[in-house]
Amino acid sequence: MDLSAKSEYALLALLELSPHYASGEPLQIRQIASQQSIPDRYLEQLLATLRRAGLVKSQRGARGGYILARDPWKITLYDVVSCIEGFEPQADPPQVSDTPEALVIQDVWGEVRQAAEGVLQRYTLQDLVEKRNAKQQIDIMYYI
């Protein structure tokens, strides 16, 4: 029922990358990690997964780093979470039993899952960036 810290880390990283997509300048793991207080060696693994899924591109060597593979409007939270959580390929959800009652429950489980995925599909990275900006705007208003 809960989304893991793993997914949250991945999203945080991509949110850091989003504003730098336009300029094309790569961001290093260390930068992202310290900015969002993520263990850097762990973040490295997550970024590798995101790269294999085609969500980010990497530039190796000195002054390298990561950039978003496409526009932050074109990446949904579902894209991120599904590839991190790895729940794409398995067409066989582990069935506990197969009585008629169990089958009905599986159906409901599917509906719950779809409802959750629906929310994630409705948000893009850019949506979150703007949500954050809006929040900070409010903070500034209160400050003045």
The contact set with a second copy (CB under 8 A) reads 1-3, 5, 8-9, 11-12, 15-16, 35-38, 77, 81, 85, 87, 96-97, 99-105, 107-109, 111-113, 115-116, 118-120, 123, 128, 131-132, 135-136
Distance of CA 61 to the CA centre of its chain: 25
| Residue among 80, 19, 8, 68 at smallest CA distance from 42 | 8
Among 24, 62, 95, 99, binds DNA (CB under 7 A): 62
The verdict on 105 binding DNA (CB under 7 A) reads: no
Residue among 25, 34, 42, 113 that touches DNA (CB under 7 A): 42
Bridge partners for 57 per DSSP: 67
Nearer Cβ to a second copy (23/97) = 97
Q: For CA atoms 116, 51, 125, 41, give the dihedral sign.
A: positive
Provide φ and ψ at 113, rounded to 5°.
-60, -45
Helical H segments across 53-124, by residue range: 77-85, 100-122
Q: Where along the sequence are the contacts to DNA (CB under 7 A)?
A: 4-6, 9, 28-30, 38-39, 41-42, 44-45, 47-48, 51, 58-66
